[in-house]
Structure 1
Amino acid sequence: YNIIRTCKGFPFFMLEKSKTTAEIRAWFAQQWELLSEKYVEEYSAGKLDRMEKMFKGLSGKEEVVFQIPMQRPYTFYLPDLPTRTFFDTREFRLAAVLEENYEMIKEELEKVLTEDESKFAEYRGDGIASDKNRMTNKTGTWKVFYFWQQFLEQPENTKRCPKTFSLLQHLKNEKLLLGGMVCFSSLLPGTNIVPHTGPSNMRLTCHLGLLGCSGTKIFAGSDSASFQEGKCIIFDDSFLHEVHHQGNERRVTLMLDMWHPGMSELEIDVFKQLMQNSSSFMHPDEFFHSLKLVNPKIQ
């Protein structure tokens, strides 16, 4: 299975050959042995039961069974994690802080759009739809300006928005997942993002509306929400979801990943350790996508 693409300039360990499904499963089995030994007291107390189930699925020892039909993350699935499609933003201090700083973030966004719009790149898709090399309808345009992408800070971009960058760094204490994706997300009028899922149910996605939100709606599972400038939307992107932009202006949001509130600090620590260990096994830009080979039913 050829599941690794060459990425120039990547600072960590580079692989010389691709990994097979058997090798990936064996690696996850080994990782669980190491992690359960490292956290042996917590493991013995049953505090890592959900993590153990996840690793059994990743290592091929158990079949991955989704509890909700329209929820199907394509990589990491933590069983027994209560969730819903959309969350009340009042439950999250992160949302309040973003909304309080809406004008500042919008000002830096507008400066980027005015001075160098070319810094917005075509969105490189993930999940189901990207396997067919499409994330939008044929006439749609989805572009992003990354602050972080696949665990890596984009310094050229963060320097262009110093106030927003500083704010984001301080939000780490509010469950912001800086190892995930943080970006300005731009849709031109008439763009429909096709139905797709995110990689894991252990995270939520937050959008702060910045520009041109009128006429733009997101659908997740059997529910929906409308974007508003200066307001946040928080949803679980492991549900099948899509976006329709029927407005007349470019729509831009600040899009970021955050930890699912149902996860314990221990589970977060274990997963962070797994991600750290993975850098010596597989390129992080491909790590998530490779898991489709481990469990094809996730696709």
Structure 2
Amino acid sequence: MKRTSGAAYLAERDKAADPKAASKQLKPNWKGVGFGDFLREQGPRKPLFDPLLESDCSGGRVSAKVAAEDAGPNSGLIPKYSWWQFCDDGPPNVVEESSVDLSKLAKVPLVALIAQVASKETINDASSNQGFTTAKSQSPWTAKVTAGKQDLVRIRRPEGIRSTGVWLVATFQKDGENWKVQAADELYPENRLEAVVRLRFKEFIHDQADKEEEEDPMAATRRTLAWGIAGMPLTTELPSPSMGHEPAFRSFTASCTQASKQGRVTSSVDNDGDQNQYPERIATDDRWKQLILTNRQLHGTGVRKDLIVAPMRVATGRGLWAKVSPSCVEFWDQLRKAELDIPSLTIEDGISASSARHVQKFLTTVPFDGAAFCVEAAISAATSSDAVLMSHVAESIAKLPHCFREMTFKSEAETRCSQRWYKVAIHVLKVNGLQDAAESMWRRAKSIKSKDGKALIGWPSPSQSPTVWVPGLSTRPYWNCSSWAFIQALEAAAPVILKEIERKDSEFLTAYPYLQTAGVWEDLFLYRGHQWNTTLCQSMPSTCRLLLPELPTRPGVPYATVYNEEVVIFRSKRGASVGAHCGSSNGVINLHLTLKGGRGTSVSVDGLQVDLRDGEAICFQDSYFHSVNHGLDGEEERISLVIRVMHPDMDLKLLGSRTDSVPDLQAWDKSASLLREVERLRAEYRKLAAAAGEQDSSTHSCSV
């Protein structure tokens, strides 16, 4: 047996305690070392962060603390907190304090905690003249919410918070006399906070407009048209066709031909082929001779493609946008008063060249952040009759100089302003059935080229227009699920997984409220933003035991987007549908395992429909436009487990100089990343071994 003197032992111990020596020891030497050797314990390390994602609170004062892990006392990084209190009898109340007293919020069913950097030391990037800055430090951030000595939430963002972002930390939802506290861990752009929060928590928004009597969709559209054309309501309401309360213009088109300068108008209504004449009075402008309202099923109604679509000012009625966000009323009023010379918009050509110039000129006269905020809010609430206008306003934003400039200095693996707004433009056209217009918009996006003639946006077709397009990745709508070996194990365990999920019935939330949906579609996240929901895993041990070793699927490659890999449970009810949408990147494959209720539910990817089957997985590329339909003839409830994984071709060399998640790939340490993953697996193994030991001891125990 090897012996060591006391002096030698103390010298070795002191060397191990030295931070510099420890940091050197932490860097693995892969040459000549087997993986088993690398797994063996090494020098002292930081303890793993222990997240707490869910808890109950009886009330009283709760406090928040957010900090950057590597920020010293003189870093200038000072957090700013805001508590959004959603009231039963009015609009949300925002309180900017580090703490809030829940016992005083009797009429508040929900509170959302948001944090951001209030004071920071920044450096300007290439768009500094537009006020865009990037924080010097992108170190990990942690957040903790406490009530007295009790921790309610603990979460960590490894990629930190950018200076232009806000962090939705947690939500507090009233549950009888108590509060249910849940970590949210969602990052939003600061300049679109109000619009996003209103969409994220729309079921808790009670603005004054909500108190008004519910209006027939047809009447609301006609009133909006009158406001948009002349800034005043109809003097006489047009009788509604016998369509019940279907979504406005689902199978409906209307043409209005001006009969005189005094406003006598004859409206020819075509409701699935039945034509009726309805006289009405509209206060109108004599510059426009015809008006056509189109819907997502326009080409199926027999309307000629050369007919005229809604003029620009139709969609800028202040009534519609006031309901979206009161702060946007002034923006749309300015747009309406810009004296735009817009004779018509056509489906084939979209907006005339002169009209496009007017829109672009107007957008250069208003602050970019305000325009982007209001346009996004408008798009989220717009009807199909607004689709053409909204798409061209989005394109005009994409062409603004400081937006377009990002195409020159950001890598293809990052979110670039122009590419993002062209995606928005294509999306709003596609979801409203205007396929030809969407293809024209895609061609214009593809025509943007560098000096050497290379297309700056890599989208191969209108069917794929994600925010980020990483070059060099293979692409096809559906994939063979056998490429991921763990899928077979998940299919075999489907009954066990379903049983664990059904115990969490009350914890589902409305899924992606900004997408076009109908009926009930809900989600529950198990893994998001590099973090496992440990509280959920405690009640779903079999599910997590199968998945914990599998994610991340490519630990040596950083995420291109913040939510590059996720585990989410979806639930829908009979009659639900999710409109066509595409993901944030072509670097994501969705592994979709149906656990229950597959009969009558289908997924369409790039127009190719696949019927779901219980216990079977389908795999498809998230960058294609895809939709879900849970038919009225289907099962009452459908539950699916979806694992979003990194594209198997993804490689570090394809990501360029930086991504949305990693601001400097040159400084990114692959070895350290692999080491963190090994430590995580070690920790999970220890937990498993401890649980097995406890079970073994209880099996062999005996009484005397």
TM range (shorter): 0.5 to 0.7
Label 1:11 to 1:56 Cα distance change in 2 as closer, same or farther (>3 A): closer
Q: What is the CA-CA distance between 1:165 and the residue it aligns to?
A: 1.3
Task: Work out the CA distance in 1 between the residues paired with 2:162 and 2:639.
Answer: 36
Tell me if the contact between 1:99 and 1:232 (Cα under 8 Å) persists in the aligned partners.
yes
1 CA distance for matches of 2:656 and 2:486? Answer: 21
2:586 corresponds in structure 1 to 201
The CA deviation string for residues 183-241 of structure 1, in whole angstroms up to 9 with x for no partner, is 11001100011111111101100111111111100001021211111110100121111
Distance between the aligned counterparts of 2:404 and 2:586, measured in 1? 20
Counterpart position of 1:96: 488
Aligned to 1:220: 605
Q: Cα distance, 1:27 vs. partner?
A: 11
Conserved 8 A contact 1:209-1:232? yes
- What letter corresponds to residue 516 of structure 2 in structure 1? M
CA distance in 2, matches of 1:28, 1:11: 33
CA distance in 2: counterparts of 1:220 and 1:195, whole angstroms = 9
Q: 2:506 aligns with which of 118, 121, 141?
A: 118
| Aligned counterpart, 2:470 | 78
CA distance in 2, matches of 1:156, 1:28: 44
1:41 aligns with: none
Preserved CA contact (<8 Å) 1:93 1:174? no
How far residue 180 of structure 1 moved from its aligned partner, in angstroms, is 2.6
Instruction: Report the equivalent of 2:520.
Output: 141
Partner Cα separation in structure 1 for residue 657 and residue 506 of structure 2: 33
Does residue 166 of structure 1 match 2:273?
no
More strand by share: 2
Question: In the aligned structure 2, how far is the partner of 1:198 from the partner of 1:83?
Answer: 14
Deviation at 1:111, TM superposition (A): 2.4
Quick one: which amino acid aligns to residue 617 of structure 2? C
Which of 459, 470, 480 aligns to 1:66? It is 459
Residue identity matched to 1:66: W
Q: 1:245 to 1:273 in 2, by over 3 A?
A: same
Distance 1:142 1:223, change over 3 A: same
Question: Is 1:193–1:244's contact at 8 Å kept on the other side of the alignment?
Answer: yes
CA contact (8 A) 2:574 2:637 kept: yes
Shift of 1:105: 1.1
1:108-133: CA deviation from partner (whole Å, max 9, x where unpaired): 11222xxxx221111124xxxx2xxx
Alignment of 1:1-40 (within 5 A): 7-8=114-115, 9=143, 11-12=156-157, 13-15=160-162, 17=164, 18=190, 29=409
Q: Which residue of 1 aligns with 2:644?
A: 257
On the 8 A contact 2:487/2:617 being kept in 1, the answer is yes
CA root-mean-square deviation: 3.5
Check the 8 A contact 1:94/1:174 in 2, yes or no.
Answer: no
Looking at structure 2, the residues matched to 28 and 59 of structure 1 have their Cα atoms a distance apart, in angstroms, of 11
Structure 1 window deviating more from structure 2 (232-241 vs 151-160): it is 151-160
Greater mean alpha carbon deviation, residues 223-232 or residues 158-167: 158-167
In 2: Cα distance, 1:189 partner to 1:272 partner: 46
CA contact (8 A) 1:202 1:260 kept: yes
Deviations 1:32-78 (A, max 9, x none): 6xxxxxxxxxxxxxxxxxxxxx259848776314112201112x101
The change in CA–CA distance for 1:152 and 1:214 in structure 2 (over 3 A counts) is same
Distance (Å, rounded) in 2 between the aligned partners of 1:14 and 1:24: 24
Letter in 2 for 1:90: S
Which residue number corresponds to residue 36 of structure 1? none
Look up the equivalent residue of 1:7 and give its one-letter code: I
SS of the residue 2:643 aligns to: strand
Give the Cα–Cα distance (whole angstroms) in 2 for the partners of residues 261 and 110 of structure 1.
Answer: 32
TM-fit CA distance, 1:159: 2.2
The structural deviation recorded for 1:275 is 5.0
Q: Determine the C-alpha separation between the residues in 2 that align with 1:141 and 1:156.
A: 25
Q: Does 1:105 align with 2:497?
A: yes
**Cα contact 1:28–1:55 (8 A) shared by 2:** no
The count of residues paired between Structure 1 and Structure 2 equals: 237
Residues 56 and 107 of structure 1: is their aligned pair in 2 closer, same or farther, counting only changes over 3 Å? closer
- The aligned amino acid for 1:253 is S
- TM-score, normalized by length of structure 1? 0.67
Cα distance in structure 1, aligned partners of 2:554 and 2:489: 12
Q: CA deviation at 1:278?
A: 5.0
Identity %: 21
Compared with structure 1, are the counterparts of its residues 252 and 199 closer, same or farther at alpha carbon in structure 2 (3 Å cutoff)?
Answer: same
Show CA shifts across 1:218-277 (max 9, x none): 00102121111111010012111101101132100001101212323x358x58974543
